[in-house]
Structure 1
Amino acid sequence: MDWLKEHPEVKTIRVAAADLNGVARGKRIPARYAGKLLEEGTKFPYSVLNLDIWGEDVEDSPLVFEIGDPDGLLLPTERGFLPMPWLDAPTALLPLWMFHPDGRPYEGDPRQALARVVERYHDAGLTPVVATELEFFLIDDSGRHLRVPPSPRSGKRRTGGEVLSLRALDAFDQFFTTLYDACESMDIPADTAISEAGPGQFEINLMHQPDPLKAADDSWLFKMLVKGIARQYGFAGSFMAKPYEAFSGNGMHMHFSILDRSGRNIFDNGGDEGTAELRHAVAGCLRAMPGSTLLFAPHENSYDRLVPNAHAPTGIGWAYENRTAAIRIPSSGPKARRIEHRVAGGDVNPYLTVAAILGAALNGIQEKLEAPEPFRGNAYDQNLAQLPASWGEAIDAFHACPEMRRIFPAHLIENFVMTKRQELHYMAELSDEETVELYLDTV
């Protein structure tokens, strides 16, 4: 309540939780009822966290008619109230997660799934340190075809990609200034911004932090924020995996290291190669990669990004300082030795992605799995096992994967598989234009 007392101009609250697709589901509540909300929480049907990408019930889901579509209890996360700078009226957002009425965590909630993985780390005396890099496009979607929006400064459109171009950043300087101010107000640790290889494509890094739940929260909120601020400027901010066929797509790369009880990075051996624990973690991620691809590429359009020579990995391998690899060990000082996981698209649910990567790494460490030798050169020219090449293959691989069943509750796995199979069925009815329209703002 302290935040609301400091912001008496706020008259309405949005309460929201992430569904399995990462879409915010929630309610609008007058601010005068905030005290009741904080004390008692609110209720959504369990099925709300298991809607398909259109926001429809999943057919034959046991959460709906079979058990009468009952309510779960939504309680505030540790985040508390946050401003929503993209709305005209002063408004607060209160992030929520779901529990059963008796206080047990609801296993179909993606944030609860990540909390379960974090608890495994803490039980082992370990703390993951996580950062994400999020790519997105600024897009003028007002006409029949997508194109780069005109610069608010010059009124001109730049039709090509401009990697690390200050001119491209400066063209949208007002947008980025507003975005960084909004990140500051929401306690999202936005760091470096760069222009990327696609037209109107940019990447912003979020800072490393020893709290995976906050890192995932930041990524989820950042996506919401970019979309909202972009619309204030009259264009779309899209994390769709592949909006332009001829250009590379959007990724969400994740960096992580692991600290022991004394605060030592267990990947640091004082040299460039890292420790045995680093190799065990890499091995765990590689073993789980086919089964976890559905979480890194959850939509039909995701597989347009995962093609050779398009700045996204297709082979299951790792390497030092090599951006063609699915898993890269960046060059750094030994104390900052870390793993970069490069498979996920910008269209992912951050909670499920962070949980899958950290869970797989911990499996590898606890089982002392041995990684293959790192490769050298272009990953696309290596004889590597390949990621599932299609959405349907990825759904089947996820459902059958023993590593996923060790990381995620069976209830969440079954719900996610039902959701994706329903989407797979109905996406076949859509044209390319309808597919873009669906994914551009939603994911």
Structure 2
Amino acid sequence: MTLIEAVEQAKRDGVEIAHVGIFDLFGTFRERRLRIDDVVNVMDGGGTFVNVLPQWDAGEQVFGSGPFVGESVNIDPESIRPYPFESNACLMIAEYTGASAPFSARGLVKQLVEKAETLGFGVRAAIESEFIVLNEDAASLRENGFGVMDTFAKDNRCWAGESAAIQADFVSELHDTLAGGGLDLLSLSGELGPGCFESTLRVTDPVRAAEDHLLLKMYTKAFCRRHGLTASFMAQLGSGFPGLSQHPHVSLTDQNSGEPAFQSSDDGTLKAPLRQFVAGMTVLMPDAMALTHHNPNAYRRHAPGNWAPKSVSWARQNYSAAIRVVTEPAERRRVEYRLPGADANPLLNLAFVLGAGLWGVENEATLPAEFEGGGPDVTPEGAASLPHDLYVAADRLDRCKVAREIWGAEFIDHYLAAIRAEEAALRKEASAAERARYLEVV
């Protein structure tokens, strides 16, 4: 379908307004609002969007150098979705096609899906994630200096039926809003701790899966703000909050037969290519952790006591492992990557999983011993350690020659500049907890 055909179909469906935008490197949707009649003229065959987006950090400060000019973009006709906050409106996703194209996480995932196809595999993916809802609005957060925060649903208990009944109106209204944005939810329910909820989207193709989750985050945050609340996807909101995760699920199919390519024997032993795919992830996890942990806060989730992996590990079914391999039932056999936090760009998460996994298949990587422990702080004996902060993670990614082979030298070099700017922005900051502990003592 061409953009012209997609726009004509949207007009027949009653669409009058289009929200046209690009996801930046860390997953924020940057948009322009246009009348549907103007979309083709403005954005197709010569349309531009200022190329500052790949050069912005999370605080919207430029870390790169100009010139900053209008750069050619293309709208993906397959990306059109309904827009839930405005009648007779849709949302369209575009991407740069000029000099900024190599910096696109979306483009990276598309390239890796194409690579999987050349190896004879189709790819399917789904994303689940947690978020916390605060009983705060934009004004109250700023009045308190983003300090002590009041939680919504203070009596929420993990998966408790009573909590679900109490919050039924909130959850069902949010669910309807997300569905109104074209998002196909498998579940939306309470999770661990006050104000904590979890969403799971149904399986689809990888780019769609990642962008559906990015839109779920955007719509959830907007929904909550419109109700005087705040939704947070920070990996670690504070010491009194649970760490929040985002787990990409990935499976491969045989392109010839359509059957699952991930197979295991009757005793559960992983067969190739599943064994090699998981092995590739374990090899590259320590050096490429910065791809899935792109801000300083992401590393705080891996503190002791949190249900977050602390080292390189894999296991069948085991929720304590960094890589959980789901072997049964056979038709849903998949790899779940449990290392990333809820703050991560899911396009980058999938880029890591696919890039590292396919590298393992191509290089027949060797699988380490399976993790058989349990609990959030148990680590396998002899397991490779993970970087504890973004500074170290960036240096490890920089030194990893394989990373440039898999994800491209141009992307990696640009990404390193972005995350180093992000790390430097907070390096001198001290928290209230640090001042309370050290100010009068040292």
TM-score, normalized by length of structure 1? 0.87
TM-score, normalized by length of structure 2? 0.87
Counterpart AA for 1:423: E
Partner of 1:169: 164
- Which segments of 5 or more consecutive residues in structure 2 lack a partner in the other structure? 1-6, 433-442
Give the drift of 1:178: 2.5
Describe how 1:47-196 pairs up with structure 2 within 5 A: 47-58=52-63, 61=64, 64-65=65-66, 68-85=67-84, 87=85, 91-100=89-98, 106-142=101-137, 143=140, 144=144, 145-149=148-152, 157-158=154-155, 162-196=157-191
Q: Deviations over 1:74-102 (max 9, x none)?
A: 111243433332x356543211111128x
Give the drift of 1:381: 4.1
Counterpart AA for 1:321: Q
The answer to whether the aligner puts 1:421 opposite 2:420 as a matched pair is yes
Aligned sequence identity (%): 26
Distance (Å, rounded) in 2 between the aligned partners of 1:430 and 1:79: 43
SS at the partner of 2:231? strand
Partner of 2:19: 14
User: CA RMSD, aligned part only?
Assistant: 2.2
Partner of 2:227: 233
Instruction: Pick which of 293-302 and 137-146 moved more.
Output: 137-146
SS at the partner of 1:92? strand
Choose which of 280, 284, 289 in structure 2 pairs with 1:284: 280
Partner of 2:11: 5
| 8 Å Cα contact 2:309/2:322 also seen in 1 | yes
Q: Deviations over 1:160-180 (max 9, x none)?
A: x51112233333323322332
The answer to whether the aligner puts 1:244 opposite 2:238 as a matched pair is yes
Give the drift of 1:200: 0.9
- Which segments of 5 or more consecutive residues in structure 1 lack a partner in the other structure? 151-156, 434-443
Distance (Å, rounded) in 2 between the aligned partners of 1:13 and 1:354: 28
| 8 Å Cα contact 1:277/1:365 also seen in 2 | yes
Give the drift of 1:6: 4.2
Give the drift of 1:358: 0.8
SS at the partner of 1:346? coil
Give the drift of 1:293: 1.1
| 8 Å Cα contact 2:121/2:261 also seen in 1 | no
Distance (Å, rounded) in 1 between the aligned partners of 2:87 and 2:11: 17
Partner of 1:26: 31
Describe how 1:394-433 pairs up with structure 2 within 5 A: 394-430=393-429, 432=431
The answer to whether the aligner puts 1:205 opposite 2:200 as a matched pair is yes
Q: In the superposition, relative to structure 1, how do residues 430 and 192 fare at CA in structure 2: closer, same or farther (>3 Å)?
A: same
Q: Deviations over 1:299-351 (max 9, x none)?
A: 11111101233101111011122111101123521232211110111111111
Partner of 1:440: none
| 8 Å Cα contact 1:25/1:49 also seen in 2 | no
SS at the partner of 1:79? helix
Distance (Å, rounded) in 1 between the aligned partners of 2:253 and 2:92: 30
Choose which of 325, 343, 360 in structure 1 pairs with 2:321: 325
The answer to whether the aligner puts 1:368 opposite 2:364 as a matched pair is yes
| 8 Å Cα contact 2:47/2:73 also seen in 1 | yes
The answer to whether the aligner puts 1:254 opposite 2:248 as a matched pair is yes
Distance (Å, rounded) in 2 between the aligned partners of 1:78 and 1:288: 34
Distance (Å, rounded) in 2 between the aligned partners of 1:2 and 1:252: 37
| 8 Å Cα contact 1:356/1:404 also seen in 2 | no
| 8 Å Cα contact 2:43/2:73 also seen in 1 | no
Distance (Å, rounded) in 1 between the aligned partners of 2:259 and 2:10: 39
